[in-house]
Structure 1
Amino acid sequence: MSWAEFYLVVSGLITLVLLIIAFPWLRRKDHAKHDSLSNTQIVKQRLAELEREVQEGLISEHDKRQAVDELKLALVDESAFQAHKTGNATLPLLICGIIALASGAWVYFYVNQMEKVAQGADAISALPQLSQQLANGNASNLTQQDIVQLALAIRQRLRQAPDDDTGWMYFGRLMLSLGQEIQAIEAMDKAVSLSPDKSANRITLAQALMTTADVNNLKRAQGLLLGLLNDNPQNDNLALMMAVVSAQLGDLNNTKRFYSQVEGKLPSDSDVAKRLVSRIEELEQQSITVGAQTEQPASQLSQVNQKRAENASDALTGFTVSVSLSEDALAHAPTEGFLIVFAQDANSQNKMPAAVVKMPIQGFPVSVELTTRNAMMPQYTLASLSQVTITARLSIDGDVAPAKGEWQGNTQVAVRQGDLTSISVIIDKEL
């Protein structure tokens, strides 16, 4: 809707309100005029009757004059009353009309967020100019406000074309540049789901996941890069990204494997190469330390493990989840793949799972134990939450991120510290 159409509609609504307010008053004036004419006609008719009665000798001339005087007095009193009543209604109606219009305008402006609507319109009008600036290679000249306007304009366009994977990818990149990592990854996920065959979209998503330094996101990035390397094993850029993300995760084998592929192709003074070499040495030293600890006497090691198990049992917090399928899921859900059960904080926008269990799809119903032992990060477990959403998903690719054709079910439940709570989850919704 253009601004001209908007102003036209608003003007029509205001006119309608004014007519509704004024109609009772105008109708009352018409009624008053009509009543006055009717009363005058009645008086004239009565005067004619009195004249006829005098001629017929029914009343005297004195009685006639007395009756005429009474009729005149009654007509004068009624006219004065109507004039007084009509004159006093104008001011109250005018004041009420002004108050009603002012209140309506304020409510309309407040509810419809006219300032934000104007910002959206300005962003859309500025889209061609900003797009041309990007196309000319002048992205460095864009201000923070320009980027915000560009992101807002693209989001408005995506409302009209939600299946545009390129638009979602551009929107994700802009949100990432604004520091909105969660929204950026969600937008890129949307682009990948719309066009899963585009390797460029998956590479961009992996890069975005790597920038977050979140363990769960890093594992997702590693999975995406492994899939891309399976399709194109000689791609050195992918191998370097895989080495970097594996180093962040502490995956020594993959770090060494993919770094060896690009080792001789990097400049000798490359900061990335130096950091990777340093990280590999650190991981190898940690591996040697862990190996030495495992050479402790069997009895001593058994005592240590038993003590750890007792401590873990004392602090165990989580759920025994009974997973079953609805009738539709039994008929249409995938029979091959993985069952992923995970818990997320129900009281925040944090999408990172506090605990995850993945297993091959098997017969249902199945019981899964989801506890603090299944945490992705030691500092972020079920014990640190009070209310969680438990989700069970039948995944085709084994990724926690949802994909088209997968089925899931969820339930929300409170966390009882130091206790295993039995709950049931029915998988009944197709994604």
Structure 2
Amino acid sequence: MSWSEFYLVVSGLITFVVLVVWFPWLFRKNHAKRDSLSNTQIVKQRLSELEREVREGLISEHDKRQAVDELKLALVDESAFVAQKKGNAVLPLIVGGVIALGAGAVVYSQVNQMDRVAKITDAVEALPELSRQLTSGNANNLTQQDVASLALAIRQRLRSEPNDDTGWMYFGRLMLSVGQEVQAIEAIDKAVELAPSNTANRITLAQALMTTGDVNNLERAQRLLQGLLAENPQNDNLALMMAVVSAQLGDLDNTKRFFAQVRNKLPADSDMFKRLSARIIELEQRSIVAVQSEELNGELKNESSTFETSVETSNDDTTGFSVTVDLSVQAKESAPSTGFLIVFAQDLNSDNRMPAAVVKLPIPAFPATISLTTENAMMPQYTLSSLTDVVITARLSLDGNVAVAQGEWQGSVESPVKQSQLSSVNITINKEL
């Protein structure tokens, strides 16, 4: 609705209210006039009848004068009553009308939300220009107010056109540019659902999933990229993305395979080339260590059953931590009491954010002690025994997802990994996310 239509509707409503209030009073006024004219005619008719009765000798002249005086007094009394009634009605009507209009104006000014309506209108009007900047890759030039206006305008458009996959994609990219990863993934998912054959939408979804660092999202991104590469195996951009996500997941085979496809097209001094090369070396070393460890364990098991028992009690399965988790005073008051306690360990000496071990359980009574060992690894080739130093995090999660969500609380501690030992660490949950 345009502003001119809005003002026209408001004017019509005000006119209607005025007519509703004024019409009964106007009708009564006209009715009073008609009554006054009718009474005057009755008096004149009665005077004529009195003249006739005198001529016919039915009454005396004295009786006639007395009757005329009575009629005049009655007419004067009625006129005074009507005048008094009229004078008493106008003032309350005017005062009541003024009060009603004033009250209506005050109430309307409090509840009309005109500021928000104006913001929405301005945002919708600025949508074409802001969308052009977003699609041209100039999102960094957008101010915080521009981002808020663009998000508001896109949501307004999607409210009226919920099946617009392009609108959902714009909204997802916008949320991704400001770090709102959860909302971004939801919006881009919606765009992919509406246009599943759109390759660009699926690529953007994979990119959004990769930015979270969450294992589940990374695995989903890898599956998406596998499908895209099956359709276009020579696409170097997809191959590079596949190498990066595989490196984050610790998938050595896929990392080497897709990095080999693009390594000759990357500058040797580029940050991406160096990081992928270093990651492949790291994964290969871990693989060698894992193989050697398995061979050594096999040899030791063949010596004797007694020595085998000794090895089993001191092998990699016992490498880990006994984590005692407690809450700070503020966390006891504000942290969620329902949901999940997630305890996980990450490599302190690399950028790989994939947990080497994770334990998730319903929020217990605190303090609580949790065992975090190699048995809790997410991938068999990436465990606590392959790390030297870790950061251990305890998080109170509302949904049980390792990815950070608003309103969750956590605490962390750094510790070295002692091979074949169960180290004790204490964590206090004291930080709201």
Q: How would you bin the TM-score normalised by the shorter chain?
A: 0.5 to 0.7
Report the alpha carbon displacement of residue 116 of structure 1 after superposing the two structures with TM. Answer: 2.1
| CA separation of 1:207 and 1:289: change in aligned 2, threshold 3 A | same
Residue 125 (structure 1) shift: 2.4
Q: Distance in 1 between matches of 2:142 and 2:289?
A: 51
* Counterpart AA for 2:5: E
**SS of equivalent residue, structure 2 residue 267:** coil
The residue aligned with 2:195 is 195
- Residues 110-159 of structure 1 show CA distances to partners (whole Å, capped at 9, x for unaligned) of 55532222222222323344456668876554433233333433444445
CA distance in 2, matches of 1:97, 1:215: 68
Q: Residue in 2 aligned with 1:78? A: 78
Deviates more, 1:266-275 or 1:31-40: 266-275
SS at match of 1:59: coil
Match of 1:181 in 2: 181
Q: What whole-Å deviation, never above 9, does each CA across 1:189-234 have from its counterpart, x for those lacking one?
A: 2221222222111111111222233333323222211111121223
Number of the residue aligned with 2:14: 14
Q: What letter is aligned with 1:211? A: T
> Residue 57 of structure 1 corresponds to which residue in structure 2?
57
> Taking structure 1 as the reference length, what is the TM-score of the superposition?
0.63
Q: Which residue of 1 aligns with 2:215?
A: 215
The residue matched to 1:57 in structure 2 has which SS? coil
After superposition, give the CA deviation of every residue in 1:16-66 in whole Å (9 maximum; x if it has no partner). 011111112112212221222222222222222222222222222222222
Q: Which runs of 5+ in 1 are unaligned?
A: 309-346, 355-376, 385-414, 416-431
Q: Report what 2:4 is aligned to.
A: 4
1: CA distance, partners of 2:77 / 2:311: 115
State the alpha-carbon separation in 1 of the partners of residues 86 and 135 from structure 2. Answer: 70
Question: Following the alignment from structure 1 to structure 2, what is the Cα–Cα distance between the partners of residues 124 and 86?
Answer: 55
Tell me which residue corresponds to 1:36. Answer: 36
Match of 2:46 in 1: 46
| Equivalent residue letter for 1:2 | S
Q: State the match for 2:24 in structure 1.
A: 24
Q: Distance in 2 between matches of 1:266 and 1:150?
A: 36
Query: In the alignment, what sits opposite 1:148?
Result: 148
| Secondary structure of the corresponding residue to residue 179 of structure 2 | coil
* Equivalent position amino acid for 1:41 in 2: Q
Residue type of the alignment partner of 1:259: F
Distance 1:200 1:15, change over 3 A: same
State the one-letter code of the partner of 1:79: S
Q: How many Å separate the matches in 1 of 2:3 and 2:19?
A: 24
Task: Note the 1:292-331 alignment, pairs <5 A.
Answer: 292=293, 295=297
Secondary structure class of the residue paired with 2:233: coil
3-state SS of 1:121 partner: helix
Instruction: Quickly say closer, same or farther: Cα 1:212–1:77, change in 2 above 3 A.
Output: farther
Q: Which amino acid aligns with 1:235?
A: N
CA deviations over 1:321-369 (Å, ceiling 9, x no partner):
xxxxxxxxxxxxxxxxxxxxxxxxxx9xx9x9x9xxxxxxxxxxxxxxx
Q: Is the 8 A contact 2:236 2:261 kept in 1?
A: yes
Find the counterpart in structure 2 of residue 271 from structure 1. 271
Distance 1:232 1:383, change over 3 A: farther
Q: 1:35 corresponds to which letter in structure 2?
A: D
* SS of match in other structure, 1:101: helix
Assess, with a 3 A threshold, how the Cα gap between structure 1 residues 4 and 258 changes in structure 2: closer, same or farther. Answer: same
CA deviation string 1:280-335 (max 9, x = no partner):
4555566667664894967679899xx99xxxxxxxxxxxxxxxxxxxxxxxxxxx
Q: 1:74 to 1:279 in 2, by over 3 A?
A: farther
**Aligned counterparts of 2:238 and 2:16: Cα–Cα separation in 1:** 65
Distance 1:212 1:33, change over 3 A: farther
Query: Which residue of 2 is the match for residue 95 of structure 1?
Result: 95
In structure 2, the residue matched to 1:236 is 236
Paired residue secondary structure (1:89): helix
Where does structure 2 lack aligned partners over 5 or more consecutive residues? 302-307, 319-335, 343-356, 365-398, 400-433
Contact 2:218–2:245 (CA<8 Å) still a contact in 1?
Answer: yes
Calculate percent identity across the aligned residue pairs.
69
Q: CA deviation at 1:10?
A: 1.3
Cα distance in 1 for residues equivalent to 2:222 and 2:138: 33
What's 1:255 paired with?
255
State how far apart, in whole Å, the 1-side matches of 2:187 and 2:143 are: 22
- Give me the CA root mean square deviation: 3.9
Once the 2 structures are TM-superposed, how far is the Cα of residue 12 of structure 1 from its aligned partner? 0.8
Pick closer, same or farther for the CA change 1:383–1:222 going to 2, 3 Å: farther
Return the alpha-carbon distance in structure 2 between the equivalents of residues 87 and 302 of structure 1: 108
2:139 touches 2:177 (CA, 8 Å); kept in 1? no
Q: 1:188 to 1:138 in 2, by over 3 A?
A: closer
Residue 240 of structure 1 deviates from its aligned partner by 1.9
CA distance 1:166–1:39, shift in 2 (3 Å): same
Rounded Cα–Cα distance in structure 1 between residues aligned with 2:63 and 2:21: 49
Tell me the distance in 1 between the aligned counterparts of 2:250 and 2:103.
63
In structure 2, what is the Cα distance between the partners aligned to 1:381 and 1:260?
Answer: 41
